[in-house]
Amino acid sequence: MPMSPKGRQKPTPARQRQFYSSHQWTRHSKRMRQEFPICMAPFCKHRGLSTSVHHIIPYLLRPDLGLSDDNTCPVCEACHHYVEGLTKRGQPTAHMFAGWREQER
């Protein structure tokens, strides 16, 4: 299994699929969306309902942060699609979520 920059083993896509279908992730995602029912992405223009929970540092890079409240942010479908597109193109996105917890709800 490949190693991450911090010396941890990086998960394979199969392990990533397993994580996202796990009870722990389902529970974490549901709790975050209940606590923050409106999109909390600082760049969101429409403040839609939070339908997804985004990993600020991608799960494949830091699986140890997979269930961390500090590494996940409830977002609407439009924002999640936008930020995932940037991530897939290799663009950094973590800075886009700086201070999201300090926002007014």
3 part of a folded domain: no
> Cα 99–26–98 angle (5° rounding)?
10
Nearest to 19 by CA among 54, 66, 61, 55: 66
32 part of a folded domain: yes
29 part of a folded domain: yes
**Tally of domains in the chain:** 1
What average pLDDT does this structure show over 10-36? Answer: 94
pLDDT tens digits, one per residue of 35-74: 999 999 999 998 899 999 999 999 999 999 999 999 999 9
First to last CA, the chain: 41
18 part of a folded domain: yes
1 part of a folded domain: no
Please report which confidence band the pLDDT of residue 93 belongs to, taking 50, 70 and 90 as the band edges: very high
Tell me which residue has tokens 């083993």. Answer: 9
- What pLDDT sits at residue 5? 52
Domain span including residue 73? 13-98
